[in-house]
Amino acid sequence: MGEVGAAPLISGRFHDEPTIEALNKLDLDVTSVGNHEFDEGARELARLQNGGCHPTDGCYTGEEFEGAEGVKGLKFKDEVETINKYARVLQAQGVKSIVALIHEGGLPASGAYHYNCGSAGAGSGISGPIVDIAKNITPAVDALVTGHTHAACVCTVPDPAGRPRMVTSAASFGRLYTDTTLTYDRVTGDIARTAVKSANRVVTRTVAKAPDMTELIGEWNTLAAPIGNRAIGYISADAPNTGTGSPMGDLIADAQLAYGKELDPETDLALMNPGGVRAGLTYAAKGSEGDGVVTYAEGFTVQPFSNTVNLQNFTGAQLIQVLKEQVSGTNAAAPKILQPSSGLTYTLDLTKTGADRVVTDSVRLNGSAIDPAATYRVATNSFLAGGGDGFTTLGQGSGDLVGGDDLAALAKYLTANSSAGSPISPPAADRITIVS
């Protein structure tokens, strides 16, 4: 359910050719594309499928990439509308057994890997986008395999005819796999819904390493090492990626604010989405790098998306609306708390609901209240600048200026503001005051 993008350095630095090669060795038959498959646009996605060398980087191993066995100009249509359309196409061809793979998901009430969120009533133990999607997809589809939320679940959600239908998700990062048995009725030519069984299984780590995979990883690690081992900065303590206040997220926001000011001195603040921070930085040495050293590989693990840092103008009223969108609309059930750069502070009151959780009068920039009518220059990554993660207002700015790579901005900030003798201290993550 999505195989490329947001990957470790060994794969992401090489446009995920290593991942495709590994999946080829596993004889993967089918998968769906998710949001990150489009990080570099449709043309690059087609190259990963069909093969060929990268148009600018060339052939990494000296041989042409064989392929698999950015979203500008693309249209992403409604899941229900699209699946129902192609289910009708398949039915017209005589196909009666249909399974849909969807890179969208839900939020089960339990974090257990084997949680059966249909046992207490059809669909009662899961929330999020997949619930309404599942309830509206044609009954011609017999099961739904989902992803995106990194959650683990095996559910039954009723289809439009009221019949239970299996909806599964196998967490993320290869920790689980879903074992599903679909019983085919030779008389009707369809799947017998009542006989569908599914369960999530833990991927064990106790078996011997596969020699072909070990060789593949070794080859790409050799290519990645000179790049990944380069020091880009120094930290005085851990910079974890945790909770509402994330020191790592704040550090990235500070780096993007500094970079934004280089592009335009009028830049006022920066906002970083929590989903764009894939890890924190640890002080303790890894290998022979030394305590406190931040390598390019570690930075890449934190920010593997190859977004750009963009600048936009917003009114103060729009800025406050952005903060409210963290806890309302599509983010109401599962808030996405943006990490603010230094100088932006406000209170989040968790005793309230929806947009009211953002205390409007508490929003300050460098100690001064936000003026709803004033204009503020805001730095974000390109994903947020396009209105991603439910922040529709961030897609409505003016005075757009597209900058360079976001990881390069972080590396530049760390290099400029730290040294072996004077490491940078991670932010205290106290920019948001929580009332609970």
Q: Give the range among 29-38, 372-381, 417-426 with minimum mean pLDDT.
A: 29-38
Backbone angles phi, psi at 393, to 5 degrees: -65, -30
Q: Which amino acid makes up residue 34?
A: G
What tens digit of pLDDT does each residue of 71-128 get?
A: 445 567 889 999 999 999 999 999 999 999 998 888 888 888 888 886 444 446 888 8
| pLDDT tens digits along 290-330 | 899 999 989 989 998 888 999 999 999 999 999 999 999 98
**Strand order across the 308-315 sheet:** 339-340, 267-272, 375-381, 308-315, 398-405
Element (H, E) at 113: none
What's the sign of the alpha-carbon dihedral 221, 224, 226, 227? negative
C-beta of residue 14 within 8 angstroms of C-beta of residue 34: no
Model pLDDT, residue 304: 86
Whole-number pLDDT of residue 319? 98
The rounded distance, in Å, linking the Cα atoms of 344 and 271 is: 9
Confidence of residue 66 (pLDDT cuts 50, 70, 90): low
Higher pLDDT, 73 or 211: 211
Helix extents (H) in 229-315: 247-263, 296-302
The answer, yes or no, to whether residue 31 has pLDDT greater than 70, is: no
Contact present, 276 and 213 (Cβ < 8 Å): no
| pTM listed for this prediction | 0.65
**Gap between the Cα atoms of 245 and 254, Å rounded:** 14
DSSP H stretches of helix in 183-288: 211-228, 247-263
Q: d(Cα 18, Cα 11) in Å, to the nearest integer? A: 5
- The residue type of 31 is T
**What token pair was written down for 195?**
């006989």
Task: Judge whether residue 287 has pLDDT over 90.
Answer: no
Contact of 191 with 185, CB cutoff 8 Å: yes
- Of the ranges 205-209, 276-280, 408-412, which one carries the lowest mean pLDDT score? 205-209
Q: pLDDT above 90 covers what percent of the chain? A: 52
Give the pLDDT of residue 128. Answer: 84
CB 349 within 8 A of CB 407: no
Q: Is the pLDDT of residue 1 over 80?
A: no
Distances (CA, A) of 65 to 6, 30, 214, 415: 20, 20, 19, 35
Report the distance separating Cα 370 and Cα 27, nearest Å.
Answer: 56
Distance CA 310, CA 42 (A): 21
Arithmetic mean of pLDDT over the chain: 86
- pLDDT at 216 > cutoff 50: yes
- The angle subtended at Cα 10 by Cα 7 and Cα 13, nearest 5°, is 70
**Given phi > 0 = left and psi -120 to 50 = alpha, else beta, which region is 181?**
beta
- Interacting residues of 352 by C-beta distance below 8 A, sequence separation 6+: none
Burial class (CB in 10 A: 0-12, 13-18, 19+), 368: exposed
What does DSSP assign to residue 306?
-
The tokens describing 118, both together, are 């249909």
CA–CA separation, 32 vs 128, rounded Å?
20
* Closest among 280, 288, 301, 300 to 235, alpha carbons compared: 280
Return the beta strands (E) in 94-253 as ranges.
99-102, 107-108, 126-127, 143-146, 152-158, 164-170, 176-181, 184-185, 190-191, 197-202, 231-234
Among the residue ranges 66-70, 149-153, 285-289, 423-427, the one predicted with the least confidence is 66-70
Q: Domains along the chain? A: 9-74 (no CATH), 79-202 (3.60.21.10), 229-435 (3.90.780.10)
> How many C-beta atoms surround the C-beta of residue 428 within 10 A?
9
What is the rounded distance in angstroms from the CA atom of residue 186 to the CA atom of residue 142? 15
Residue 48 has pLDDT above 60, yes or no: no
pLDDT value, residue 339: 96
> Is residue 179 scored above 70 in pLDDT?
yes
Which token pair is 376? 């503020």
Write out the two tokens for 99: 């399974």
The pLDDT confidence band at residue 7, using thresholds 50, 70 and 90, is low
Query: Strands 231-234 and 197-202, how do they pair?
Result: unpaired
Angle, nearest 10°, between helix axes 17-25 and 211-228? 170
User: What φ, ψ does residue 271 adopt, rounded to 5°?
Assistant: -130, 135
Tell me the pLDDT tens digit for each residue of 246-279: 999 999 999 999 999 999 999 999 999 998 998 9
Neighbouring-strand partners of residue 75: none
Q: Could you tell me the CA-to-CA distances from 400 to 261, 263, 314, 325 in Å, in that order?
A: 14, 12, 11, 21
As a whole number, mean pLDDT of residues 356-360 equals 96
Residue 283: what pLDDT? 95
What tens digit of pLDDT does each residue of 363-399 get? 999 999 999 999 999 999 998 998 888 899 999 999 9
> What pLDDT does residue 282 have?
94
Tokens of 409: 């901005």
Q: What is the pLDDT of residue 108?
A: 86
